[in-house]
Structure 1
Amino acid sequence: MQHVHSYRPAGEISDPPIDTVTLPHDLRHLRRKLLHLSNGDMVMLDLKEAVLFHDGDRLVLDNGETVEVKAAAEKLFEVRARDTLHLIELAWHLGNRHLPAQIEDDRIVILRDHVIRSMLQGLGATVLDVEEPFQPARGAYHSHSSHDHGHAAHDHAGHDHSGHDHSGHDHAHHKHD
């Protein structure tokens, strides 16, 4: 079985990969895991630190060949707004709930959640069911190689946490007086 100890970001390698591994967004944050490739083979990923992989990133095998990470199609909501300002307002409401979001020029894509759908429709958004790869923004506290979510000078009294899910990631808050 081949092992993976390094990776290259999407676009850095032009040679074709020997295979692919397809994963949804919540399973692309990895450090050590047995991965099942599309051809049925398996490789052992064993990195020094956890990495948030994006579509097109390459896993480098011990023999120098690469495997391409593919973002799996997921059941999502496509959020459309009346205009640019409305889209910014909708993004603010989603960000206030710390929801993973893929933000584009004319839409926001989020995971399906009927409570959030109702909130968005109440705010005047058009919300459509879509199924496509999900590539949420990493955020200001995220890098390609880590998943730190610390908030400096962050006062929780200042914003709403209804519908707020902290599962799946570290969320250290430091209040400075």
Structure 2
Amino acid sequence: MLIASEVRAAGTWDAALGADSVVLDFDSRHRRRHAMAGRAGTAFLLDLPQATVLREGDGLLLDDGRIVRVQAAPERLAEITAADADALLRIAWHLGNRHLPTQLLGKRLRIRHDHVIIGMVEGLGGKVAEIQAPFDPEGGAFEHGAAHAHAVIHGEHDGLHTHRS
């Protein structure tokens, strides 16, 4: 089986040369070791030294030199806006206080669809639009440490287990 043991960051490789692509939702883009199959049928084992958040446009370097492009799958999201920057900042604080993965887009925030959280956001004066889009939340200042802590919480410390998708 082919093995991908290196990630080439989006923009650092020629995407036109990609041999195949994998379409993954956000949970499936946080991996260390996982069997994958590309849209064109390329089967390979992702085998990274540590759990890594794969981003849209990243390339997975196969041991035969080909690259498989990572594509972020559209997901059901809530896009949040507010009357002004202060109101949006207050909403962002409440989302962060609940440790919710949040994508920061200037004057908009995106979270996974959750009717309870949407109710809270609307109660804080936010406007919510339900959308389908790739989800790429903020990684945080301690992304490696946070990923490690997340893996430990889910019993994945040995790196051989991954999230179910």
Shorter-chain-normalised TM-score: which range? 0.7 to 0.9
What residue in structure 1 maps to residue 91 of structure 2?
90
Please, what is the CA RMSD of the aligned residues? 1.7
Q: Which protein has the larger Cα radius of gyration, Structure 1 or Structure 2?
A: 1
Cα distance change on mapping 1:125 and 1:146 into 2, 3 Å = closer
Which residue number in structure 2 is paired with residue 72 of structure 1? 73
Instruction: Give the whole-Å Cα distance in 2 for the aligned partners of 1:82 and 1:133.
Output: 25
- Which residue number in structure 2 is paired with residue 58 of structure 1? 59
Q: Which moved further from structure 2: 1-10 or 104-113?
A: 1-10
The one-letter code sitting in structure 2 at the alignment partner of 1:3 is I
Q: Which runs of 5+ in 2 are unaligned?
A: 154-165
Alignment match, 1:39: 40
2:50 equivalent in structure 1: 49
Alpha-carbon spacing, 1:36–1:78, altered in 2? closer, same or farther (3 Å): same
How many residue pairs align between the two structures? 152
How many percent of aligned residue pairs carry the same amino acid? 39
User: Which position in structure 2 is the counterpart of 1:147?
Assistant: 147
- Determine if contact 1:24/1:73 at 8 Å carries over to the other structure: yes
Asked whether the equivalents of residues 117 and 127 of structure 1 are also in contact (C-alpha less than 8 Å), the reply is yes
Alpha carbons of structure 1 residues 43 and 9: separation in structure 2 relative to 1, 3 Å? same
Greater than 2 Å deviation, 4+ residue runs? 168-171
| AA at the equivalent of 1:12 | T
- What are the superposed Cα offsets for residues 114-171 of structure 1, whole Å, 9 maximum, x if unpaired? 110000000010011000100000012204x97145xxxxxxxxxxxxxxxxxx6556
Structure holding more helix per residue: 2
TM-score with structure 1 length normalisation? 0.81
Please name the residue that 1:124 is paired with. Answer: 125
Asked if the contact 1:51–1:146 (Cα under 8 Å) also holds between the matched residues in 2, the reply is no
* Cα distance, 1:110–1:86 mapped onto 2, change above 3 Å: same
Q: Is the 8 A contact 1:141 1:148 kept in 2?
A: no
How do 1:151-170 residues align onto structure 2 when only pairs under 5 Å count?
Answer: 169-170=151-152
**Bigger relative contact order, structure 1 or 2, given CA contacts below 8 A and separation 6+?**
2
For the 8 Å contact 2:51–2:148, the answer to whether it is kept is no
TM-score by length of 2: 0.86
How much has 1:75 moved relative to structure 2?
0.3
